[in-house]
């Protein structure tokens, strides 16, 4: 075991982690621990753009953007945070341009902008061009630009280090962050990082679904580490299903395709979104479009011999426009489906895409131990966190924005905290939990296999807690997850070695997914209403009287060592906008 | 009723799309043995699936010790460059049907970088060469209040080289790099090109001097392996030629 000491430790090197690292490295001695090489992070898979009311191509302002974000989130958004997001969006985009990001340009040489779902002029009048983009590679360009600037700033990375535990020390009865424990993939060595400030920026949890746009590595490691140590997870029942994933594979096809004029059609060729969203049509918010697609499929208007998908039609768009604006997604259709998007529509289905919930933070990125108490020295930003700027449903292009705005804020805040405070003592035997976990898995002779349990988890999540949910389906999922968590205790791995043992890490990642799936299902069961991405067929309406509040899920450990999820609730911050019926 | 899912196992088994394929994989684990060996695995797979899907079937169902890097599984993250039937490709962008599944499919680590275990190589020398070419925008003077202006034509000038995902497929396909690890390699030059030809950048001369080194662009023998290997379709050899030309003309 090695012990390291840093002022600031950042967990994860996607957009939020690297944006934080650029700020934190200038101000404090900083280490970035990342389970992937930074440029492998899933920020790079984001396509369509980053929202900011630059008003480069038409009238726009941050207040309209704030309203769209609040409405898009079905009024579960904390409005003070949404206002910061929309206001600071403009500088966030300009910062990236100055760092070198190659945005697409207008004929005048300013940053070009295009339409995206849920973004409107003057509170819903018509779609507005707010998304700043670089073809359909905006996430790739953001990830590359941030990594380039990390190289420029001399950011210190520990590549292929898996953070497996959060260290907490109580000082005068208050939980403080003391550091993290990491597992080095190359050697199997365990490292303790003592740090004044820790920032989680480790991304989402999408791999508990089967059809997902998420990378294999998105296993909620940061959420699980904090949750296990008694910290809450907020709004975990809210998961976004992106309307246009490649049929069966789930690979993302950007909403920018519809922003450029693409149309969704059922088997009769009908532009069905006109029925569900007369004004915004194909550019309604993602939860609305995904439900509409499944409604078409369930009512027998799906495409293909099994009627299990619909089409994304780009055939009316000029090939030059597709080549210039959507080169990557058209290539995905060619590579993975053998389809030519110039002439043929692309089969799509909704794909599990984004966790609106996560580790609760305030607008400085400080992690909350309950509804109001901050955990000194602990921060989170990006998909791992819940500020909450996305509420019950995130708008497209607001996640690349979120990672930049709150990555920067948390980087500055954490470094400032590190400058003003001393190290807290490490807990006794700080690596004990990770050592025990690793040894148990390495030595296990159990009969359960990781791949089987993961496949069963993904099946039950897709079948029971996806776009449509009921009491019955969620209960089925809760029971199945409990069974899988029990069987997980008996899981064994084949690779007993220390060197690049990805077999071991996949087993640990599965444990994280199982814990988080339980939190999600239990949170969903208790929310007896429909709001944003959480749609209950048995409670089809939003219920602001009983449920306009954030879910806070805590891990409770019983006297016998068994654990369960305890739910509490936190009020939503409402400033400018009173809840209204949501129409697109 | 639950969300409709895509489980049609019984319907599919009537006309099974699955075929039997042999994956012949170069195994190496210094914890076990000092020598590398070929190992054959037979798997049932739909030919429309990816080589990466086949590797997962082996790892998940047959041999958990098989080790490779992967993440996004659709050609964006750059983790899974490997040598498949003697050519550098991304396992997640290569479909079984496109590489003749009748014969054993050979899979080995990319060349020129030290193999750590199975298909995993030491990427550090690759990233060091990248860092050495100053892969970041350099500007002088005060920053403008708003964005720097750039015409669509100027933006287009370096578009091709912005697509790089640092997967190392090009560099590890280069015969010069195989024989001399000191050579910067195509990927580093591509990333230098991306800034040299960016109208906003003011450090082109410095980057050109770095690449004027004995281990720089002049080592390129124009074999086009890099262009063939690039999973992003970047015209790598052309980019290297443009850097060479800029070194001679000092115009870029």
HSE value, Cβ hemisphere, 13 Å, CA-based, for A268: 8
| Domain B124-139+148-249 part of CATH 3.40.630.30 | no
Q: What is the mean pLDDT of residues B55-64?
A: 98
pLDDT tens per residue, range A267-292 = 999 999 999 999 999 999 999 999 99
Rounded Cα distance between B121 and A370, Å, is 44
Residue B136 has its nearest CB partner, among A104, A107, A148, at A148
| Cα gap A272→B199, rounded to integer Å | 45
Side-chain half-sphere CA neighbours of A1 within 13 A: 15
Residue of chain B with shortest Cα separation from A296: B4
Predicted local confidence at residue B252, as pLDDT? 82
Chain A hits for B163, CB-CB cut-off 8 Å, are: 137, 140
CB-based contact B152 A308, cutoff 8 Å: no
Q: Which residues of A are less than 8 Å from B137 in CB distance?
A: 98-100, 148
Task: Note the residue count of chain A.
Answer: 584
- Which of A14, A102, A540 to mutate to probe the B interface, most B CBs <10 Å? A102
SS3 A297: helix
pLDDT at B12 exceeding the cut of 60: no
Q: Cβ separation of A248 and B74 shorter than 8 Å?
A: no
* Contacts of the segment A177-180: beta carbons below 8 A, 24+ positions apart: A177/A367, A177/A375, A177/A376, A177/A377, A177/A378, A177/A424, A178/A377, A178/A423, A178/A424, A178/A425, A178/A426, A178/A427, A178/A430, A179/A9, A179/A426, A179/A430, A180/A9, A180/A11, A180/A33, A180/A225
* Contact call for A497 and B166, based on CB within 8 A: no
Domain boundaries, chain B: 9-121, 124-139+148-249
Q: How far apart (Å, rounded) are the C-alpha atoms in residues A507 and A515?
A: 13
Q: Do residues A550 and A234 touch, judged by C-beta distance below 8 A? A: yes
Q: What tokens appear for B121 in the block?
A: 């190589």
The whole-angstrom separation of Cα B72 and Cα B79 is 8
Q: How many Cα atoms sit within 13 Å of B135 on the Cβ side? A: 25
In this complex, do A105 and B74 lie within 8 Å of one another by their Cβ atoms?
Answer: no
Residue B170 reports pLDDT greater than 80: yes
CATH class of A243-352: alpha beta
- B33's CB contacts (< 8 A; 6+ apart) are none
A204 to chain B, closest Cα gap in Å: 13
Name the burial class of residue A173, with classes exposed (0-12), middle (13-18) and buried (19+) by CB atoms within 10 angstroms of its CB: exposed
Q: What angle do CA B210, B214, B215 make, to 5 degrees?
A: 75
Looking only at the bridges linking them, the beta strands covering A346-355 and A359-360 are unpaired
Q: Tell the burial category of A448 from Cβ atoms under 10 Å away from its Cβ (0-12, 13-18, 19+).
A: middle
CA–CA gap between residue B115 and residue B25 (Å, rounded): 13
| Closest alpha carbon to A407 in A361, A465, A343 | A361
Q: Are B112 and B177 in contact (CB under 8 A)?
A: yes
Whole-angstrom Cα Rg for chain B:
22
Q: Bridge partners of A181? A: A165, A192
Number of other residues whose CB lies within 10 A of the CB of residue B251: 7
Structural domain A432-571, CATH architecture? Up-down Bundle (1.20)
Q: Which of A57, A103, A105, A214 has the most B C-beta neighbours within 10 Å, making it the best mutation to test the interface with B? A: A105
Q: Which candidate, A9, A42, A22, places its Cα nearest to that of A148? A: A22
Locate all alpha helices (DSSP H) within chain B, ordered by sequence: 9-14, 51-57, 124-132, 152-157, 175-179, 186-196, 204-211, 225-229, 236-249
CB within 8 Å: A298 and B1: yes
Confidence of residue B7 (pLDDT cuts 50, 70, 90): very low
Sign of the C-alpha dihedral computed for residues A200, A205, A207 and A213 taken in this order: negative
Contact call for B162 and A306, based on CB within 8 A: no
Residue A382 Cα, gap to closest chain B Cα (Å) = 18
Residues of A recognised as catalytic: 286
Asked if A183 and A11 touch (Cβ cutoff 8 Å), the reply is no
User: B54, B23 in Cβ contact below 8 A?
Assistant: yes
Contact: A40, B162; criterion CB under 8 Å: no
Band (B1; pLDDT cuts 50, 70, 90): very low
In chain A, which stretches have pLDDT less than 50?
none
- Nearby residues of A376 by Cβ (< 8 Å), 6 or more positions away: A174, A176, A177, A417, A421
φ/ψ of residue A483, rounded to 5: -60, -45
| DSSP H or E stretch at residue A503 | helix A502-526
The confidence score (pLDDT) of residue A234 equals 98
CATH of domain B9-121: 3.10.20.30
Q: Which two tokens stand for residue A169?
A: 């020390």
**Nearest chain A CA: its distance from B149 CA (Å):** 5
Contacts of B109 in chain A (CB under 8 A): none
Question: B120 and A470: CB-CB below 8 Å?
Answer: no
Scanning every residue of chain A, which has its alpha carbon at the shortest distance from the alpha carbon of B60? A451
Place of tokens 């099994």: A306
- Phi (first) and psi of residue A221, to 5 degrees: -65, -40
Q: Residue A335: count other Cβ atoms within 10 Å of its Cβ.
A: 20
Q: Which residue has the tokens 């060091």?
A: B128
Pairing state between β A239-246 and A346-355? antiparallel
Q: Which residue, A41, A530, A458, is CA-closest to A238? A: A530
Q: Where are the domains of chain A?
A: 243-352, 432-571
Q: How would you list the strands of the sheet with A239-246, edge to edge?
A: A239-246, A346-355, A310-313, A263-265
DSSP 8-state secondary structure symbol assigned to residue B97? G
Query: Which residues on A lie below 8 Å from B65 (Cβ)?
Result: 494-495, 497, 503
Closest to A197 (Cα-Cα) out of A384, A366, A19, A35: A366
What band does B181 get if pLDDT is binned at 50, 70 and 90? confident
Strands A190-200 and A2-11: parallel
Which of A100, A463, A497 shows the shortest C-beta gap to B3?
A463
Q: Do A451 and B60 touch (CB under 8 A)?
A: yes
Q: Answer yes or no: do B71 and A498 touch at CB < 8 A.
A: no
Mean pLDDT across B116-145: 96
Return the higher-pLDDT residue of A216 and B215.
A216
Chain B residue with CA closest to A14: the answer is: B77
Give dist(CA A104, CA B155) in Å, integer.
7
Q: What is the C-alpha to C-alpha distance for residues A235 and A228, in angstroms, rounded to an integer?
A: 17
Answer yes or no: do A499 and B117 touch at CB < 8 A.
Answer: yes
Q: Do B5 and A462 make contact, defined as CB atoms within 8 angstroms?
A: yes
Helix (H) or strand (E) holding A223: helix A221-228
Residue of chain B with shortest Cα separation from A206: B72
Residues 6+ away with beta carbon under 8 Å from B39: B24, B25, B27
Which residues of B are less than 8 Å from A248 in CB distance? 6
Per CB-CB distance under 8 Å, the chain B contacts of A524 are: none
Determine the distance in angstroms separating the CA of A428 from the nearest CA of chain B, rounded to an integer. Answer: 32
Measured distance CA(A341)–CA(A313) in Å, rounded: 8
Which residues in chain B are closer than 8 Å to A508, comparing Cβ atoms?
none
User: Per residue in A459-476, is it b (16+ CB within 10 Å) or e — as a string?
Assistant: ebbbbbbbbbbbeebbeb
Separation in Å, CA of B12 to nearest CA in chain A: 11
Task: Considering only the beta carbons, identify the residue of B48, B64, B72 that sits closest to A503.
Answer: B64
Q: Where are the beta strands (DSSP E) in chain B?
A: 19-27, 37-45, 81-84, 87-90, 105-108, 115-117, 120-121
* pLDDT greater than 50 at residue B8: no
Nearest to A109 among B61, B69, B149 (CB): B149
Average pLDDT for B141-159: 96
Task: List CB contacts of B100: < 8 A, sequence separation 6 or more.
Answer: B85
User: What would the 3-class secondary structure string for A90-153 be?
Assistant: HHHHHHHHHHCCCCCECCCCCECEEEEEEEEECCCCEEEEEEECCCCCHHHHHHHHHHHHHHHH
How many contacts, defined by CB atoms under 8 Å, are there between A and B? 178
| ipTM of the modeled complex | 0.96
The string of DSSP letters for A315-332 reads: TTS-HHHHHHH-HHHHHH
Distance from CA of B137 to the nearest CA of A (A): 5
CB A345 within 8 A of CB A230: no
Measured in Å, how far apart are chain A's first and last C-alpha atoms?
56
Q: Which residue of A has its CA nearest to B12?
A: A306
Q: Is the dihedral of CA A131, A132, A135, A140 positive or negative?
A: negative
Shortest alpha-carbon distance between residue A417 and chain B (Å):
29
Decide if B71 and A40 are in contact by the 8 Å CB cutoff. yes
Q: Which residue of B has its CA nearest to A333?
A: B74
For A317, the token pair is 């768009």
Contacts of A249 in chain B (CB under 8 A): 74
Report the distance separating Cα A282 and Cα A206, nearest Å. Answer: 24
Three-state secondary structure call for residue A70: helix
Read off the DSSP letter of residue A241: E
How many angstroms separate the Cα of B18 from the Cα of each of A339, A369, B12, B73, B84?
21, 51, 10, 21, 21
Q: Do A306 and B1 touch (CB under 8 A)?
A: no
Handedness of CA A415, A420, A422, A426 (dihedral sign): negative
Q: Which one of A46, A98, A99, A104 makes the best mutation probe of the B interface by having the most chain B beta carbons within 10 Å? A: A98
Q: According to the model, what pLDDT value does residue B9 have?
A: 44
Chain A positions touching B201 (Cβ under 8 A) are 100
> Using a CB-CB distance cutoff of 8 angstroms, which residues of chain B are in contact with residue A251?
73-74
Q: Which of B77, B93, B123 to mutate to test the interface with A (most CBs of A within 10 A)?
A: B77
Picking from B31, B64, B152, the nearest residue to A494 by CB comes out as B64
Whether residue B60 and residue A502 make contact (CB cut-off 8 A), yes or no, is: no
Question: Would the CB atoms of B72 and A451 count as touching at under 8 Å?
Answer: no
Residues of A in contact with B76 (CB under 8 A): 44-45, 140, 328
């Amino acid at each position: 075991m090695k012990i390291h000491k840093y002022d600031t430790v950042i967990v994860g090197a996607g957009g939020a982690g690297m944006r934080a690292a650029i700020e934190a490295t200038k101000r404090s001695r900083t280490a970035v621990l990342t389970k992937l090489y930074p440029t492998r992070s899933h920020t790079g898979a984001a396509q369509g753009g980053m929202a900011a009311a630059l008003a480069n191509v038409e009238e726009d302002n941050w207040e309209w953007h704030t309203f769209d974000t609040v409405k898009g989130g079905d009024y579960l958004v904390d409005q003070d945070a949404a206002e910061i997001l929309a206001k600071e969006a403009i500088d966030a985009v300009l910062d990236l341009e100055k760092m070198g990001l190659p945005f697409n340009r207008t004929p005048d040489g300013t940053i070009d902008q295009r339409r995206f779902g849920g973004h409107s002029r003057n509170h819903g009048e018509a779609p507005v061009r707010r998304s700043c983009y670089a073809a359909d590679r905006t996430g790739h360009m953001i990830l590359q630009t941030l990594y380039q600037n990390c190289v420029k700033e001399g950011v210190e990375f520990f590549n292929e280090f898996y953070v497996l535990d959060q260290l907490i020390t109580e000082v005068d009865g208050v939980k403080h962050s003391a550091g993290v424990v990491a597992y080095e993939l190359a050697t199997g060595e365990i490292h303790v990082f003592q740090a004044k400030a820790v920032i989680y920026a480790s991304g989402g949890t999408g791999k508990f679904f089967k059809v997902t746009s998420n990378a294999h590595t998105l296993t909620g490691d940061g959420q699980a580490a904090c949750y296990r140590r008694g910290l809450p997870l907020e709004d975990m029942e809210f998961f976004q299903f992106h309307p246009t994933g490649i049929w069966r594979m789930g690979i993302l096809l950007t909403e920018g395709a519809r922003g450029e004029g693409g149309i969704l059609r059922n088997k009769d060729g009908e532009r069905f979104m006109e029925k569900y969203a007369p004004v915004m049509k194909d550019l309604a918010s993602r939860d609305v479009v995904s439900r509409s697609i499944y409604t078409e499929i369930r009512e027998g208007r799906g495409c293909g011999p099994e009627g299990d998908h619909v089409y994304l039609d780009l055939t009316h768009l000029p090939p030059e426009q597709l080549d210039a604006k959507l080169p990557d997604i058209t290539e995905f259709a060619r590579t993975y489906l053998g389809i030519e998007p110039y002439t043929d529509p692309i089969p799509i289905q909704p794909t599990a895409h984004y966790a609106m919930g996560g580790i609760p933070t305030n607008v400085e990125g400080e992690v909350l131990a309950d509804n109001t108490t901050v955990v000194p020295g602990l921060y989170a930003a990006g998909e791992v966190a819940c500020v909450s700027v996305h509420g019950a449903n995130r708008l497209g292009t607001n996640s690349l924005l979120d990672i930049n705005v709150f990555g920067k804020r948390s980087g500055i805040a954490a470094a400032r905290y590190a400058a003003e405070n001393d190290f807290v003592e490490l807990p006794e035997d700080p690596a004990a939990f990770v050592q025990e976990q690793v040894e148990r898995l390495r030595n296990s002779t159990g009969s359960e296999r990781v791949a089987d349990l993961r496949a069963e988890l993904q099946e039950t999540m897709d079948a029971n807690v996806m776009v449509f949910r009921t009491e019955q389906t969620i209960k089925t999922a809760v029971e199945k997850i409990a069974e899988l968590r029990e069987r997980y205790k008996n899981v064994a791995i084949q690779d007993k070695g220390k060197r690049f043992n990805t077999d071991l890490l996949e087993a640990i990642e599965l444990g994280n997914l199982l814990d988080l799936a339980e939190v999600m299902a239990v949170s969903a069961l208790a929310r007896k209403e429909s709001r944003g991405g959480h749609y209950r067929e048995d409670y089809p309406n939003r219920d602001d009287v009983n449920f306009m509040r954030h879910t806070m899920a805590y891990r409770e450990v019983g006297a016998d060592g068994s654990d369960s999820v305890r739910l509490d609730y936190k009020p939503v911050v409402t400033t400018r906008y009173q809840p209204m019926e949501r129409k697109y | 009723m639950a969300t409709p899912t895509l489980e049609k196992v019984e319907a599919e088994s009537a006309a099974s799309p699955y075929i039997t394929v042999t994956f012949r994989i170069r195994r190496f684990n210094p914890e076990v043995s000092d020598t590398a060996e070929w190992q054959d695995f037979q798997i049932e797979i739909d030919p429309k699936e990816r080589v990466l899907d086949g590797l997962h079937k082996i790892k998940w169902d047959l041999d958990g010790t098989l080790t490779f890097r992967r993440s996004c599984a659709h050609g964006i993250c750059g983790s899974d460059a490997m040598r498949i039937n003697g050519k550098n490709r991304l396992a997640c962008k290569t479909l079984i049907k496109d590489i003749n599944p009748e014969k054993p499919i050979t899979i080995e680590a990319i060349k020129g970088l030290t193999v750590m275990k199975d298909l995993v190589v030491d990427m550090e020398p690759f990233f060091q060469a990248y860092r050495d070419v100053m892969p970041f925008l350099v500007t002088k003077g005060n920053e403008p209040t708003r964005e720097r202006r750039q015409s669509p034509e100027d933006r287009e000038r370096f578009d091709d080289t912005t697509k790089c995902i640092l997967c190392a497929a090009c560099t590890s396909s280069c015969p010069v790099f195989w024989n001399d690890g000191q050579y910067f390699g195509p990927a580093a030059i591509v990333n230098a090109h991306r800034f040299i030809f960016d109208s906003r950048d003011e450090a082109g001369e410095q980057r050109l001097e770095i690449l004027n080194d004995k281990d720089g662009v002049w080592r390129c023998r124009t074999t086009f392996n890099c262009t063939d290997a690039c999973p992003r379709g970047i015209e790598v050899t052309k980019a290297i030629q443009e850097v060479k030309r800029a070194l001679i003309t000092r115009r870029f």
